[in-house]
Amino acid sequence: MRLVKQEGGLSLNHADYKEVWAISPLDGRYRGKLDALKDFVSEGALIAYRIEVEAAWLLFLGDQLPKESKDNFKFLFSSEVKDFLQSLLIEVPTTDVLKVKKIEVETRHDVKAVEYFLRDALKNLGASNIELAMVHFGCTSEDINNLAYALMLSDITKNYLLPLMEALTKSVSEAASTYSEIPMLSRTHGQPASPTTVGKELAVFAMRLERQKRRLETLRFTGKMNGAVGNYNAHVIAFPEVDWPGFVKKFLEQNLHLEQNPLTTQIENHDVLVEFVDIIRRFNVILLGFARDMWGYIALDYFTQTVKENEIGSSTMPHKVNPIDFENAEGNLGVANSLANHFAEKLPVSRWQRDLSDSTVLRNLGVMFGHSILAYKSFIYGFSNVKPNERVIKQDLENSWEVLSEAIQSVMRRYGVNDSYERLKKVTRGKSVDRSVLLQVIEDCAELPDDVRKRLEDLTPEQYIGLAPMLAREIKTLKSAL
């Protein structure tokens, strides 16, 4: 195989051309759909979150530690230093991120590189020795990293995941209400079963997805800032007069809006992170089942897809309109959940007080997000381009009179016919049934009153839908009760 080094005037440095050679499809083929993710889960974003945590901690120390003491400890920020640190809480310039990466090349330590960057920047602003000395005070790398990841997950949840989940569940809920009255043949074990409505079946998935979204909305991320093995060793030896658990709790809750994990080893134990991942995994599993159902309904021609003039379904079969959006959703959900499962098994486990095996695993959170978000977008797009094929759905119902055997034997039970199930089983199980067969069963049942017999004789599969329309219409009320 020969790799083309230059083609059409594009060099390897051209942005579009470089995407062709990306190792991951998230950074290559799908980059345009995921570009906003770089602000949350890229290497640069992680560095920015670390800088934010370091700056916030230093500001908090300067504000909350004793200003003067008997040993002449004085910690007062100059206005220039304070303004600079506060600016980092709002926005971290790309140039600063690149400076950190340059330092990391020498230190081979990503968090220490952030500390050195801050110290250099503060020194250039004329910071005092105590200001420089207190950068990264009492911190192990994990104190910075766990909080950086907590802020990252909080931001991507609020700004990206939840809006997409909301758009998805809203579109399904609206379709459930719109199609609440359209009768449809159910299938249990793949076989014809008691009728339902299109809207009610959509409402089931809307409700399930909404429940997981609500779980995500209420989840609070945890963090720790308690030193090398979780005992505040360095904090207490330096400032024994400070209530460090309370001090850190105030910092986490008031400044970072995180919940304190009060008892840890060197690492924050990732239990809440895994709860977060598991909510996404459950949402994804439900959506995967939904995508497969939609695929099946399209295969049955229960749903038709919008035909786009310039799109091609098959390279050799011109007639094809493939359900590729639901297939892409299914595939990406599978990849995302394979990672989610590994996170759930790996991240809560650490040897003794600390091992580093979680570090490289955590860097793949963005990969899970990327494939999940691709799936959500694919599903939303695919779902927006389908509609029920009422003609086919109606025809299928008209060809499935056997589903009324449940209705007839249930009414017969009410009137004391204790072998009603057996009577219907004899004439319907595994057989092609039309209306005349059922009419004969009704006529032969002497126990039924005339008005009841007449009601059953007039019943059609299309009418036998129970409370399905009402259940579908009430989706908004049911969701609000979660």
Catalytic residues: 189, 314
Token look-up 């910092």 returns 251
Contact 412, 438 (CB under 8 A): no
Contact 148, 53 (CB under 8 A): yes
Count CA atoms within 13 Å of residue 472 on its CB side: 23
Sequence-separated (6 or more) residues with CB below 8 Å from residue 479:
173, 206, 207, 210
Closest CA to 193 of 429, 420, 472, 402: 402
Contact 366, 380 (CB under 8 A): no
> Strands 386-388 and 191-197, how do they pair?
unpaired
Structure tokens at 253: 């809750």
How far CA 363 is from CA of 141, 149, 200, 340, 368, in Å, comes to 15, 10, 41, 13, 10
Helix ranges (H only) for 69-127 are 79-90, 94-107, 110-124
Closest CA to 106 of 94, 95, 117: 117
For the chain, the first-to-last Cα distance in angstroms comes to 57
Structure tokens at 407: 């209705």
Helix ranges (H only) for 42-78 are 43-64
Token look-up 């126990």 returns 447
